[in-house]
Chain A
Amino acid sequence: MADIAIRAENLGKQYRIGTFTGLGSPRSQYRTMRETLSNAFLSPFGRKRSETQRVSGKDQDQIIWALKDISFEVPKGRVMGIIGRNGAGKSTLLKILSRVTEPTKGYAEIHGRVGSLLEVGTGFHPELTGRENIYLNGAILGMKRLEIGKKFEEIVGFSEVEKFIDTPVKRYSSGMYLRLAFAVAAHLEPEILVVDEVLAVGDAEFQRKCLGKMTDVAQEGRTVLFVSHNMSAILRLTEETLVLDRGQNILLAPTAEAVDYYMSSGFAQIGERQWLPDEIPSTAHPFQPISLQVKDSRGRIIDTVRSTEPVTLELNYRLKAPISALRIGIYLMTARGEQVFTSFDTDDPALFDEFPIRQPGEYTSICKLPADLLNEGRYVAGINASSYRIRRYFQDEQALTFTVDGTGSPGTQWPELRLGAIRPRLTWKIEQIDPTLQFQSQREVQPDA
């Protein structure tokens, strides 16, 4: 018992769809005023009954289980990763464990003080100065005033915003803002730390710094739950990883094994990924992804492509309203989480000029990868639809995975593992500069031998 930090048993969380997605939009289902009156003033018991009716009755289809039957244990001092696609329930699980929301079913026990970092800079106010925000944010995250005072210098030092500490944070650059926010959070000292995807924000330098701090925290022997889409961060920081899919716990295993499973079989889609309507967030409108396909040089949808042949990635999508300056991006990542490249369909200015506004209708953006580009191994393709500096409509960093077969690529006559994500057919030349010098030196060596 004593060495358990977190134990969860059959945790479940259900949401009513309307209230969950709307966030203030007129479509969200706030209850009506008539219900208000009857609920608030007439009979609280009546509401309780109607709530159970909602669950069991005709509204069944409006209910989704964001989490279902999640059970696991985290021993003290363990750094555990949680991975899964968007909407798999990772954030919901962290919200339950950090007591932001209650489970609908099941139970969990937590031994020790929990510090949750579901977002950096919670409660930051743009009008307040850096100094004021440090105190405020510290208090919100559960630090005492004295504790913040003691660590103040350290926090400021870590954030590198000393000069602007008495400037309102609304005048900060986004990088400064993030560094300050993360600095406060990084100096929390709870026994259990729950971290959600904080590394997904900020520039590379900031991410490196955050990751370094997370490594320190992990080495201090604290219990950490860490959600990330960044597989290399997961591999580096965590010992054990929980894989969630559609609200369910599909695997709890040592990290290397879990990542491997997640990246390969976890969502292999035989060379094609289709998006179901419920996988597309309402914020994507008017963009609607239909499918992403990997095709070989003969146009067949295929899961394993040959490195020596060109490959096309085709994204089919529908626009329900015109979008100006739309660009469709492909991210390519290795199964280990290293980025290979990012490319957009309108990178070519000529294509950009041809489609200043894309009218409603169905489209396919086709990206051709030349032959002899990728090394053998498994790759993850992600997509993005955005208008630069205007809006991001849709993003799925892990839309689909495919395998590259290296047969015939450069150097395959030596059956050894080649490092690196790409395996280009580069042009080599070997030149002998001075045959006589070579000959002489060999001759000189011979007498000694």
Chain B
Amino acid sequence: MSETNEMVIYLRPSRGWAALNLLELWRFRELILFLTWRDILVRFKQTVFGASWAVIQPLFTMVVFTFFFGRLAKVPTDGIPYPIFSFTALLPWGLFSKALGDAGRSLVQQRSMITKVYFPRLAIPIASVLGGVVDFAISFIVLILMIVYYNNIPASSYHVTITSNVIFLPLFLLLCICTALGAGLWLSALNVIYRDINHMIPFMTQILLFITPIAYSSQMIPEKWQFIYALNPMVGVVEGFRWALLGSGDPPGYLFLISAMVTLVLLVSGLFYFRRMERTFADMV
């Protein structure tokens, strides 16, 4: 290395808001992937069912929902078989809730790394969120199998036709990841200082499950409440998934925009808050 491009690091106390420094994060992309890879490996080691756990959870939730909401409560589904209706929503929900929980606890769990080695701390919650994408992909295959099944049983009056809407699916997936990351960043940084967050996460997830159109359709929400309802960013994500995959509901409109804006605010504020608090992590965690 020649003298001119020698790397010089200046260490001094910093104050106030810090730049995001995404370039440095990019240089550590391999670390993010390694951490994601570790999360996935560790999750399925020494388990009998291995990766099928990624499917078992949403599948059972779907069965329970189908029984209570589909059969007993007869929730309207726009003609879609209830299992497919709910499972389509449970996919992004599963990604979100898992990412939220994992990311929220991630910094505290990785305490030993934070106090011993330098790297951009953002790598930790990002890796946690990405870890859920693998579960999502596995469940997604199950969803496709379910659609194929419903299209081919003779008694079925319903046929899912994949429309061109499906090209927007990656966009909704991205929105889902951003929402989870935005919330995960806030929670993980707060959790370093206030362990109350540990208690809040399961409870928050539970409440969010009910105020997100998973077991039911957002069309059941009265018109005048729709605006407030859409402030939950997962509303836009879940309705977007149903629209893109099943062609149900209205194309994303202003409600979707509200959800997307909330996600954007959550993500950007989360990133800056995280970077601001980052300097105290090693001392506080």
Contact = CB atoms under 8 A, between A and B. Distances in A.
Interface of A: 2, 15, 19-20, 24, 30-31, 33, 36, 40, 44, 48, 95-114, 116, 118-119, 122-123, 125, 127-128, 132, 135-136, 139-142, 144-145, 168, 191
A31 B282 contact: no
Contacts of B15: 48
B45 interface: yes
A119 B196 CA distance: 29
A33 B118 contact: no
A142 B12 CA distance: 22
B119 A142 contact: yes
Contacts of A31: 193-194
Interface of B: 1, 3, 6-16, 30-31, 34-35, 37-38, 41-42, 45-46, 110, 112-119, 186, 190, 193-196, 273, 276, 279, 282-284
B1 A110 contact: no
B8 A96 contact: no
Given A30-B195, A123-B113, A128 B283 contact: no
B254 to A, nearest CB: 26
Given A30-B195, A33-B196, A40 B190 contact: yes
Contacts of A102: 11-14, 279
A141 B117 contact: yes
A110 B112 contact: no
A20 B112 contact: no
Contact of A36 (B6, B118, B196, B279): B196
Given A99-B9, A122-B116, A142-B119, 12 more contacts: A15-B283, A20-B283, A30-B194, A96-B11, A97-B11, A100-B114, A105-B13, A109-B11, A111-B8, A123-B112, A125-B38, A136-B34
Contacts of A111: 6-8
A114 B118 CA distance: 10
Contact of A110 (B9, B16, B35, B117): B9
B116 A109 contact: no
Nearest to A101: B282
A28 B263 CA distance: 34
B7 to A, nearest CB: 6
A242 B58 CA distance: 59
Contacts of A106: 12-13
Nearest to B285: A23
Contact of A107 (B12, B186, B196): B12
A57 B162 CA distance: 66
Nearest to A36: B194
Contact of A145 (B30, B117, B196): B30
Contacts of B116: 100, 116, 118-119, 122
Contacts of B46: 127
Given A100-B118, A100-B282, A128-B38, A140 B113 contact: yes
Nearest to B14: A102
Contact of A127 (B31, B45, B193): B45
Contacts of A98: 117-118
Contacts of A103: 11-13
A125 B37 CA distance: 12
A52 B230 CA distance: 40
Contacts of B14: 102
Given A33-B196, A36-B194, A140 B31 contact: yes
B11 A125 contact: no
B10 A122 contact: no
Nearest to B46: A127
14 contacts: A19-B283, A31-B194, A36-B193, A100-B115, A103-B12, A106-B12, A110-B10, A114-B9, A116-B118, A118-B115, A128-B41, A128-B42, A136-B37, A144-B30
A100 B282 CA distance: 6
Contacts of B16: 48
A125 B34 CA distance: 12
Contacts of A48: 15-16
A97 B10 CA distance: 10
A109 B10 contact: yes
A108 B10 contact: yes
A118 B117 contact: yes
| Residue of A109, A125, A139 ringed by the most chain B CB atoms within 10 A | A139
Nearest to A35: B194
A74 to B, nearest CB: 14
Given A98-B118, A116-B118, A118-B116, A19 B284 contact: yes
| Residue of B112, B115, B283 ringed by the most chain A CB atoms within 10 A | B283
A48 B16 CA distance: 8
A223 B235 CA distance: 55
B155 to A, nearest CB: 46
Contacts of A107: 10-12
A20 B280 CA distance: 11
Contacts of A24: 195
Contacts of A95: 115, 282
A48 B280 CA distance: 13
A118 B6 CA distance: 24
Given A30-B194, A36-B196, A123-B112, A132 B7 contact: no
Contacts of B114: 100
A283 B12 CA distance: 32
A95 B195 CA distance: 24
B192 to A, nearest CB: 9
B215 to A, nearest CB: 30
